[in-house]
Structure 1
Amino acid sequence: MRHLAARRRSPLALLVVLLLGLAMTGTAYAALQPKAEPGTSVATASTDEIAAGRQLFLANCAFCHGTNAQGAAPEAPEAQAGPSLVGVGAAAVDFQVATGRMPLAAPGVQAPANRDSVLLSQEEITALAAYVDSLGPGPDVPAQEWIDLEGADIANGGALFRTNCAMCHSSSGAGGALTRGKYAPGLMNVEPQHIYEAMVTGPQSMPVFNDANLSPEDKEDVIAFVKDIENGGNSYGGHALGALGPAGDAMFIWTFGIALLIASAVWLGRKAR
């Protein structure tokens, strides 16, 4: 007993207890962390699909991103200055191509969305995404359970949106200007899948929100909040100027009302003379 008591007082005992606590905490976190079902990835793609994706890549993407998706050489002209795609994952490919941002029509500070200019079918986009994902694993296309919005918590999504998204996309999801000619695009009429993919891939100036930042459930809640705004959930009366409800009316009345009062005061002053 005295021998055990002496060991408990050893300086190494505290270190052992600390290491055991960290190991148990890490194991519990890994076991309880929510995980999304894989969507489109090399793990679920066939060899033929990956081969077809490579042919699509060579025909549509290699000019800027290199024949092996390694990116343009440093000395390449601006028109060919595409980044490496190794490790971007299937979600990045689906987001960029399915929204018409890629292939890029012309170099610029930001790739604009243009769903009318989507060149590939969804089947071809899936094959292209599978090929790029085979070069290096990255975020997958989200599983249907995270974008069907069934049972989503709109209130929680609103709180998360105001904390993480509103400073760039505005409180109403209408978008906003950023620095150096860039902008945060509007989120209205955007497919839930593409909103999710943007969160996990961080296109342009957007930060990446992985599962450690926002769980798949949180992402679904944010999307549900955006869709609620799209369906009129952010309208609280008034004329919805700037999608701000009565606050927009108050700003309108203040701006034009104060000008009218000043003009009236000037007119009355001149008339009194």
Structure 2
Amino acid sequence: MARETTRRSGGRRSPWAAAALIGIGLLITGGGYAGASAAMAATDPAPAQASTLTVEDGKKLFQANCATCHGLDLQGTQDGPSLYGVGELSVHFQVSTGRMPLQMQGPQAPQKPPQFTEEQTAAMAAFVQSVAPGPTFPAEEVLDGGGDASHGGELFRINCAMCHNVAGAGGALTEGKYAPALHEVTPINMYAAMVTGPQNMPVFNDMTLTTEEKRDIITYLLFLQDNESPGGFSLGSLGPVSEGLFIWIFGIGSLIALTVWITAKSN
């Protein structure tokens, strides 16, 4: 009897043994799979980075995604304007910001995530430039943010703030249109907007704003992007309207609540 009892106690297993074995098995299997996947990824080349799209590739992309509205020869249709003279700079602006292809007809093409890679966008822009030349990309120094931010701020307030707000926060226009915020716009698209005048924006050619003045405006906008509001919470950067509303709701509301509380305590 003693031997039988000893044998039974020696063969008893912990209730956590099965769970531990399953966990160890999952760790080994997952680790092996992760290692194999990493090894395969390291050996496979990156075809997207190695390949370079040509103007002919841009033509195919344009015909497949843009010709329905703009025509096979860029002449335009009832659903879209002609692209003669818009140039590669306008194509880059519209496609890289997701405004094109247009999602639906409306007062204004909204900005949305782009549907094409930078390489595909460049190929379509090169195709349009080869067929219907127009404004092209500026020199790199125009976009480097090394201009006069103070002078750029003055130019922005004179020419742009009535629509985009003095802090670049954007604003409403008529008939459902609006001036977009500029807090996340890239330097190349800032320049493109000034040169091509997309949608409701006027064109600022070199007789209106010189290249150096455009550089100063870009420098000012980059300064706004890199520096937070010195007063703390910006309240949308909408000026006295939002500030007065905040004071009215929270400031006067707090005073009323405090008055009611004091009256209730005294009674």
Q: With the length of structure 1 as denominator, give the TM-score of the two structures.
A: 0.69
Q: Which residue of 1 aligns with 2:87?
A: 89
Q: Which moved more, 1:246-255 or 1:164-173?
A: 246-255
Q: Which residue of 2 aligns with 1:54?
A: 59
Q: 2:236 aligns with which of 226, 237, 242?
A: 242
- Report the residue type matching 2:188 in the other structure: Q
Distance 1:62 1:144, change over 3 A: same
Overall identity of the aligned pairs, in %:
53
CA contact (8 A) 1:169 1:184 kept: yes
Q: Which residue of 2 aligns with 1:208?
A: 203
Per-residue deviation, residues 78-137 of structure 1 (Å, max 9, x unmatched):
xxx11000110110000000111111122221111113xx22222221121111122222
Q: Which residue of 2 aligns with 1:127?
A: 123
CA RMSD of aligned residues (A): 3.0
Match runs of 1:51-200 below 5 Å: 51-73=56-78, 81-115=79-113, 118-150=114-146, 152-200=147-195
The 2-side partners of 1:182 and 1:250 are apart by: 25
CA contact (8 A) 1:65 1:72 kept: yes
The 1-side partners of 2:227 and 2:175 are apart by: 32
CA contact (8 A) 1:237 1:246 kept: no
Task: Choose 1 or 2 for highest CA Rg.
Answer: 2
- Report the residue type matching 1:129 in the other structure: A
The 1-side partners of 2:239 and 2:104 are apart by: 38
The reply to whether residue 252 of structure 1 matches residue 252 of structure 2 is no
The 2-side partners of 1:104 and 1:251 are apart by: 36
Structure 1 residue 51: Cα displacement: 2.4
Structure 1 residue 258: Cα displacement: 5.6
Per-residue deviation, residues 171-219 of structure 1 (Å, max 9, x unmatched):
1111111111111011011111111111100001000111111111111
Q: With the length of structure 2 as denominator, give the TM-score of the two structures.
A: 0.70
3-state SS of 1:155 partner: helix
- Report the residue type matching 1:130 in the other structure: A
3-state SS of 1:103 partner: coil
Q: 2:216 aligns with which of 198, 221, 227?
A: 221
Distance 1:178 1:220, change over 3 A: same
Structure 1 residue 252: Cα displacement: 3.3
CA contact (8 A) 1:238 1:246 kept: no
The reply to whether residue 231 of structure 1 matches residue 226 of structure 2 is yes
Alignment length, in residue pairs? 214
Structure 2 residue runs without a partner (length 5+): 1-52, 261-267
The 2-side partners of 1:174 and 1:166 are apart by: 9
- Report the residue type matching 2:246 in the other structure: F
- Report the residue type matching 2:103 in the other structure: A
- Report the residue type matching 2:74 in the other structure: A
